[in-house]
Structure 1
Amino acid sequence: MFDHDRDRHEDDRVISEELKVRAQALRAAGKTPKQIARELGVTRAVVTPLVRGVAVERPNRVRPSDLPLVGCWISRQWSNGLTITDRPADWVDDRKLRRMAVGAGLVSVVVARADGDSASVCGFLVDTYCLGVKNAVPPAASTFDDLPYFLEDFFAAYDSAMIEAPIELARHLVFGAVDYARELGFDPHRDFYSAAPHLGTWEPPSRITFGLDGKPYFQQGPYDNPDRIMRTLDKSVGPGNYHFTAVTLGG
């Protein structure tokens, strides 16, 4: 009984913190408390204390998406297990997709834009099979000379070089995965809201059908709470309607 109570309180803390982060990000983007409440599905009374004191972005400030695009890069095998409708010719990937190869279901995306004499760089780690954006790197300044080193570090976990990709693909991949994960009951990592403006305006739906062959597949990572995630999937799609690979830790 006590374990269930602890899990419930943990879930409540996570939900409360995610709500606060999302509310503050929307406020910083210029949304009114009323608009934020509508978007988050809560009352204005809930939103107001969460956003009190948050600076609002001024309308005349240059939007990140208006900055010149330096480049966009995506890890290989990004399309593994996914279905793409009317696939554009420049949405390229490895010619041979090896099922569950490195990069399948867990995709890295980097976007760099020119901001004066430096580059503004951000990144996303996207679980295309279940959880959406699991991690993100907020925009940070980098010299153009240092950008290759940033890319090398960001994609170091993969066994092949990243692919230069159109920004439209990044939008459909990142925003589409977030929309899919939210349908399953999962919100993106808090830093997603800081990095997302670099992608530009999102106009759903995505051309991409997410999930492994269209079905949620949870692959446990080192920082995931498998019990909480599978409880959420049980509620959203029902037991037996998703796949999972969980790690058993030894005593």
Structure 2
Amino acid sequence: MRERGSAPKQIAKVLGLRPSQATALVRRVAEEALANIEPDQRPVVGCWVNAGWSTGLDLAKAPEWAAADALGQEPDPGTGGFAQILLARQERASRVTVTGFLVDVYCLGVKNVTDPEVMGAGSLTTYVPMYYSAFDHRPLPIGVEQAQTIVHGAVAYARGLGFEPAAGFADAAVHLGAPPGDRPVIGFGRDGKPFYLSGPYDNPRKVVQTLERTCGPDNYDYLAHL
């Protein structure tokens, strides 16, 4: 009856239940149905990326994504090189699962993963700003297909350079899902060239040695203390 659009009160009348019992029944049935759906097929509650994520990337084949990131079109926004993505999917009636990815879009691919976490849907109003608190601008809402394209595209680019994604990526990717086959192509690297910017937990010497081997001299750039 619920599938035909019947309200809980109508269901209660037909089944001889109190309205509160019918409401609880509808909720339980919905939760059981959702539990049988694969994580990457569950409804998307929200998806975001930091403003300026597209700086230096080739988005000629994704003009709508480029236009939506006005900060990324500025000469030096100070945000280039990283896409911080957060995805929230419906878990059950009033709960969501959030998963996050820190993506080096210039070189290393997925550097860090926020493991899937279940929380109340109302908590997103405080969790999202906290997740992006290191940025000066509010995050941009995006479609899950764009998030999938950024994450999986960056992973493929990094693997071509000799780098694997961070631990936990496989588990988090189950919630993200694979990108559609007809997705736009993003040109990774800074202005078409691998660019390594060292981080606090990197081994810069090893990274540069890998780039030297996979790219060859003068075919990559880096900023690191070796």
Does the TM-score normalized on the shorter chain lie above 0.5? yes
Question: Alpha carbon RMSD of aligned pairs, Å?
Answer: 1.9
Q: Which amino acid aligns with 2:169?
A: F
Residue equivalent to 1:64: 39
Deviation at 1:206, TM superposition (A): 5.7
Quick check: 1:110 aligned with 2:86?
Answer: yes
Give, in whole Å, the separation in 1 of the partners of 2:108 and 2:72: 25
Aligned to 1:224: 202
- Per-residue CA shift, 1:66-101, capped at 9, x if unaligned? 111001000011111001243253561125623442
Alignment of 1:114-153 (within 5 A): 114-116=90-92, 117-153=94-130
**CA-to-partner distance for each residue in 1:18-71, whole Å, 9 max, x for gaps?**
xxxxxxxxxxxxxxxxxxxxxxxxxxxxxxxxxxxxxxxxxx953111111001
Would you say the 8 A contact 1:173–1:206 is kept in 2? no
User: Corresponding residue for 1:177?
Assistant: 154
Normalization by structure 1: what TM-score? 0.70
Q: Distance in 2 between matches of 1:214 and 1:122?
A: 29
The letter for the 2-side match of 1:245 is L
Q: Unaligned 5+ residue runs, structure 2?
A: 1-34
Query: 1:179 corresponds to which letter in structure 2?
Result: A
Q: Decide which moves more: 183-192 or 199-208.
A: 199-208
Give aligned-pair identity as a percent: 38
TM-score (norm 2): 0.78
One of 59, 63, 69 as aligned partner of 1:84:
59
Partner SS state of residue 84, structure 1: coil
Unaligned regions of 5+ residues in structure 1, if any? 1-59
After the TM superposition, which residues 24-35 of structure 1 pair with which residues of structure 2 at under 5 Å, given as runs? none
Structure 1: which amino acid aligns with 2:77? A
Q: CA deviation at 1:142?
A: 1.2
Q: Distance in 1 between the 2:113 and 2:184 partners?
A: 20
* Structure 2 residue identity aligned to 1:72: C
Alignment of 1:207 with 2:185, yes or no, is: yes
